[in-house]
Amino acid sequence: MEPKIIELPEVVLVGFNFYGDPFRLSGGWTEENEIGHLWARFMAYLQEHSDRLPPLKDDHVCYEVHIQHPETAERGEYEVFVGLEVRKLEHLPVELSVKVLPAREYAVFTLKGEQITSDWEQGVVGKWFARSGLHTDESFGFERYDERFKGLDRVEESVLEVYVPLSPEANSFEAAP
CA–CA dist 172, 5 (Å, integer): 14
Supply the CATH number for residue 159's domain: 3.20.80.10
Query: Is residue 177 included in any domain, yes or no?
Result: no
Strands (DSSP E) contained in the chain are: 4-8, 11-20, 62-67, 78-85, 97-101, 104-112, 140-145, 159-165
Report the number of distinct structural domains present in the chain.
Answer: 1
Query: Is residue 157 included in any domain, yes or no?
Result: yes
Query: Is residue 34 included in any domain, yes or no?
Result: yes
Q: pLDDT grade, residue 125 (50/70/90)?
A: confident
pTM of this structure: 0.88
53-109 pLDDT tens trace: 999 999 999 999 999 888 888 888 889 999 999 999 888 999 999 999 999 999 999
User: At a CB cut-off of 8 Å and minimum separation 6, what does 144 contact?
Assistant: 61, 62, 63, 160, 161, 162, 163
CA–CA dist 15, 33 (Å, integer): 18
Task: Give me the domain span that covers residue 154.
Answer: 4-171
Query: Is residue 176 included in any domain, yes or no?
Result: no
